[in-house]
Structure 1
Amino acid sequence: MSATITITSPTSILENGHSVDDKIPKETVVSLPPTASGWKGTSFGAKDPYALMRDCNANSRLTAQHYLWKELLGFLVHPDIDTRATDLRVADVATGNGIWLHDFARGKPSSIDLHGFDISLDQVGPKPWLPANTHMHIWNIFENVPDEFVGYFDIVHVRLITVVVKNNDPRPILANLKKLLKPGGYLQWDEVDTIGCSIKTVPGTSAENLDTLFSQLKGRDTWKYELTRIMDENGYTGSTLYTYEYGLGTARFWSDLYVSTWKEFAENALKTPEVSRQLEHNAMLETLNGASIMVPTLVWVTKKIDDSTN
């Protein structure tokens, strides 16, 4: 039976690097580095419709984003999911720079088996520097799940892939994520709610430019209204949505993160440098005067049906 906790009307925002609608650039082939320290191993589909950047600033944004999320949620893996086993197999899909796996591994025994999957590993550190129990793979979430990972994982985590959902239908993604899971394994899917969002200001402060800037990151993702039901009708059970909101005390941190995301998007996808620079300048003046973007965070927790118990 599915449950919903403080669900609001969501749509999309670009936090993990993909563009919306017709702003997605032409696909380009990712070339894996030929050096001994580079990633040249497991690869399943290597085309990269990434609308943000993969440089040091983008990596810094991903890292800051991770710790803001962790502070807001109070967890990496939701308390509904038991992580005490010493032989856990955990996947982080759309792993980005791998910061979630890095943080999850802290304090855990080396016997747990950690795997990151993404369409590009350009933001991940050199392979020899990762712990022996952490493995990275290039994989397109719409391609077939590699045979060795079918039914392999106890926990699959995915965050901020809203805009790769095609035709407003998350079912193909849910199907592949389910294939990764063992029977009875858990999926945690994290997103943001940009219909339930707002721009808040101190009295007398304008936010016209900040609102315009933020509106360029939004999409229309009505599938989130129904995701708990969709999960429970497609091989999952007990699907639950949790909603979290940050307060005004940390609003500036989050607002700067969204502006930073937009700045990458503007440079890499909008291709309107002069207009974008002026919009950013005006929006930041409004931020300095006391305007901030407020966006609720959404976390779904669900479990793959275990047919073996029937």
Structure 2
Amino acid sequence: MTTRYLTKPVSTLRKSFTMDDMKGTTGIVPEDKCANTHATGDKIESVELRLNEDDVNGRSVELTSKKDSYVLMRDCNASTRLTAQHYLWKDLLGYLIHPDIPTGFDDLKIADVATGNGIWLHDVSRSKSTSAELHGFDISLDQVGPKAWLPANIRMHIWNIFDEPPPQFIGYFDIVHVRLITVVVKNNDPQPVLANLAKLLKPGGYLQWDEVDTISSSIKTVPGVSGSSLNKLYSQLKGNNTRDDTWVTLIEKSRVHTTDCHFSWKYRLTEILDENGFTGSLLYTYEYGHGLARLWNDIYVSTWKEFANNVLKTPRMSEDLERKGMEEARNGAAIMTPKLVWVTRKE
């Protein structure tokens, strides 16, 4: 089979290939502007992109992402959900950065991993001096605005959390923040992710890791109201609905884990942190009351809807389940999920 090597200007490459076209490829990013594509027949095997920070609308492409396995959406509705979700988290926690983490120096360097649309960094930037460096990392920056509209001290970078961090950021940050990456953790083992997060931190730097307690979640209702449809859709989102073979088959085909044992690492994370180069690890648990239950419930239904559209792809079944679930919510039922925050310091 013939092997072809193609050399094109970056602008031509970007018009010729999309990320969907290059799923499953790997790449590295040196500094000069060119792109080499290694193809066998019509199959792209690897892509070496050479871009600088201004080549992708002000976004730094440190490493070419591997296949994007994100199971939710990145459209305007998804970004709106991320923004609303951020402010609910902030209201519940009462902080952006945990008060145990020192932040009172001007040249603070902060990383937000799995930054999404960057809302957490935007909020942090309002209370930090312009000399502070705020860096967002994600496998996709489709939800982030252009560089010209970002605060001067925010920089965004494409990075796959399972790849080696860009060399210029190893041992660079005082604080690394990560939130809601449960779906990223593979084989019930957070250590590969943790190892790369640790590499970003300076010795003595702090990690703040925020998650939802999917195992302790429940459906709360006022007396006499059913929550069965909400329970079913949330079970689909968590990937543990074993009472409906149709859904289980779809979830398995989408390669989403199907039992709560996939999430049990959260109950061991404090010990895992202390056994892997961190010290003084503490877990904080937060629960919201019934007053905000409907707001949180709608966030989870919205998240499930993205999952259903992007992964399950059974619109009639999903529309019916959403209709029934939201009827239950209007009558007085809600998904209730505690929040977990780990704070730890790198040795």
Aligned to 1:215: 235
Question: Structure with the greater relative contact order (CA < 8 A, sep ≥ 6): 1 or 2?
Answer: 1
Of residues 258, 261, 264, the one that matches 2:300 is 258
Unaligned stretches of 5+ residues in structure 2: 1-19, 26-48, 240-259
- CA RMSD for the aligned pairs? 2.1
Contact 1:116 1:135 in 2 (8 A): yes
Amino acid at match of 1:118: D
Contact 2:125 2:151 in 1 (8 A): no
Q: Does 1:293 align with 2:335?
A: yes
Amino acid at match of 1:211: N
Deviation of 1:38 (Å): 2.6
Of residues 84, 105, 116, the one that matches 1:64 is 84
Of residues 275, 278, 282, the one that matches 1:240 is 282
Deviation of 1:50 (Å): 1.7
Deviation of 1:184 (Å): 0.2
CA distance in 2: counterparts of 1:291 and 1:77, whole angstroms: 32
Which of 88-97 and 219-228 deviates more? 219-228
Give the fraction of aligned pairs with identical amino acids, expressed as a percent. 68
Deviation of 1:107 (Å): 2.7
Aligned to 2:134: 114
Aligned to 1:140: 160
**TM-score with structure 2 length normalisation?**
0.77
What are the Cα deviations for residues 11-64 of structure 1, in whole angstroms up to 9, with x where unaligned? xxxxxxxxxxxxxx99837999xx978355323132321211111111000000
Aligned to 1:173: 193
Deviation of 1:245 (Å): 0.1
Q: Does 1:44 align with 2:39?
A: no
Give the aligned length: 280
CA distance in 1: counterparts of 2:228 and 2:190, whole angstroms: 33
Kindly report structure 1 stretches of 4+ aligned residues shifted beyond 4 Å. Answer: 29-32
Structure with higher Rg: it is 2
Unaligned stretches of 5+ residues in structure 1: 1-24, 306-310
What are the Cα deviations for residues 90-138 of structure 1, in whole angstroms up to 9, with x where unaligned? 0000000000000001132100001000000000011111122111000
Aligned to 2:270: 228
Contact 1:37 1:128 in 2 (8 A): no
Of residues 94, 99, 113, the one that matches 1:79 is 99
What are the Cα deviations for residues 187-209 of structure 1, in whole angstroms up to 9, with x where unaligned? 00000011111101111101111
Deviation of 1:261 (Å): 0.4
**TM-score with structure 1 length normalisation?**
0.86
**Cα gap change, 1:40/1:151 in structure 2, threshold over 3 Å: closer, same or farther?**
closer
